[in-house]
Amino acid sequence: MTKLAVRACKIAEELSKLYPAPECALTHDSPFQLAVATILSAQCTDERVNMVTPVLFKKYPTPEKIAHSTQESLEEIIKSTGFFRNKAKNILGFAHAIVNEHGGVVPQELAALVKLPGIGRKTANVVLGTAFGIASGVVVDTHVTRLANRMGLTESDDAVKIERELMHLLPQDQWINFSHALIWHGRRVCNARKPNCAECTLAKLCLKVGV
DNA sequence: CTCCCGATAT
DNA sequence: ATATCAGGAG
C-alpha cells in the first residue's frame, strides 16, 4: 500500500465519520427520475434542480410520459437550470431510448448507460451507485475534481483519469460513499469560492489548507 | 477544444 | 462584473 493510498483511506475514514450515511441530494422516486435529475444538474446547483423536478415529474413521471411530451414543454419547465435546450433534447432522447430500446427500464450496466443520450460516466455512476447499489466507479464531478486536487489525491483535471486514480486508491466497497461524502463536503465546507479550512476536520490530512 | 445558459454569491 | 454551479455532445 502506497503512502498516498494510506492517506486516501484516512481521508475516506474521516469523511465517513463526518457523513455516516451520505445520500444523493437530488430528489427522485425511481432510477429513471434520478437519471433525469442528474442530467439537469450539469452546471447547476442541486438546490435549483430540486425546485424543477417536482414540477417536471408531476406532469411527466415516467419514461413513457416524457417520451410523449415535447421539446418545447420540457424546455419551459426546466429553463431555470440552464443549458435548457440541450438538456430538454437529452431528456427526450433518453426517455425514447429507455422506452424503445430497453423496455421502459433503466439498464444496470455502465456500458449500456453511457450509450444513452445525455448520460456520461458521471451520471451513469450516480445512477448505478445510488439507484442500484452497484459500485461501477467513483463519481467525478466538479466537487470531486476540486477536492481531490486540493487534498493532493490527484494532480489531474481530467475526470476519467481522476476516477481511475481514485478507484486504485480506495477499496471498491467505499467508492459510492466516498463519492457522496466528498460531494457533500465540497458543498458544505470545501466550496470553490471560500473554503472554510478553519472548520474543516480534514485540514490535517489536506495539502492545501488556506490556499 | 468549444458550445450550451440561467441563477446566485462575491 | 465575474466565477461557479452534482456535464455531455460534437
The answer to whether some atom of strand B lies closer than 7 Å to the beta carbon of A43 is yes
Q: What is the mean pLDDT of residues A122-126?
A: 98
Residue A211, pLDDT score:
57
The answer to whether some atom of strand B lies closer than 7 Å to the beta carbon of A83 is yes
Q: One of A89, A115, A141, A173 is an active-site residue; which one?
A: A141
The answer to whether some atom of strand B lies closer than 7 Å to the beta carbon of A194 is yes
Percent of chain A with pLDDT over 70: 99
| A104 CA → C8 C1’, Å | 23
Which of A15, A31, A37 lies closest to A178 in space, CA to CA?
Answer: A15
Q: One of A3, A59, A122, A204 is an active-site residue; which one?
A: A122
Instruction: Write down the H helix ranges in chain A.
Output: 3-18, 31-40, 46-59, 63-67, 71-78, 84-101, 110-113, 121-126, 132, 142-150, 159-169, 175-188
Q: What sign has the CA pseudo-torsion A102, A108, A111, A115?
A: positive
| A44 CA → B7 C1’, Å | 8
pLDDT digits 0-9 by tens, A53-104 = 999 999 999 999 999 999 999 999 999 999 999 999 999 999 999 999 999 9
Residue A122 is among the residues annotated as catalytic for this protein: yes
Q: Inform me whether the pLDDT recorded for A113 exceeds 80.
A: yes
Residue A12, pLDDT score:
97
Grid cell in block for residue A16? 465517513
Q: Inform me whether the pLDDT recorded for A208 exceeds 90.
A: no
pTM of the model: 0.95
Confidence band for A23, pLDDT divided at 50, 70 and 90: confident
Which of A119, A154, A140 lies closest to A186 in space, CA to CA?
Answer: A140
Determine how many CB atoms are found less than 10 A away from the CB of residue A71.
Answer: 12
Residue A141 is among the residues annotated as catalytic for this protein: yes
Q: What sign has the CA pseudo-torsion A88, A185, A190, A159?
A: negative
Instruction: Please give the Cα distance from A129 to A134 (Å, whole number).
Output: 5
Confidence band for A107, pLDDT divided at 50, 70 and 90: very high
Cβ proximity of A106 and A131 under 8 Å: yes
Nearest protein residue by Cα to C1' of nucleotide C6: A41
Q: Which nucleotide is nearest to A23 (CA to C1')?
A: C6
Place of cell 442500484: A132
Determine how many CB atoms are found less than 10 A away from the CB of residue A171.
Answer: 12
Q: Inform me whether the pLDDT recorded for A146 exceeds 60.
A: yes
Instruction: Please give the Cα distance from A71 to A96 (Å, whole number).
Output: 12
Q: Which nucleotide is nearest to A42 (CA to C1')?
A: C7
Q: Which nucleotide is nearest to A191 (CA to C1')?
A: C4
Q: What is the DSSP letter of A195?
A: -
Which of A196, A165, A139 lies closest to A25 in space, CA to CA?
Answer: A139
* Angle, helices A84-101/A31-40, rounded to nearest 10 degrees: 160
Q: Inform me whether the pLDDT recorded for A210 exceeds 70.
A: no
Nearest protein residue by Cα to C1' of nucleotide B4: A83
Average of per-residue pLDDT values in chain A: 96
Residue A55, pLDDT score:
98
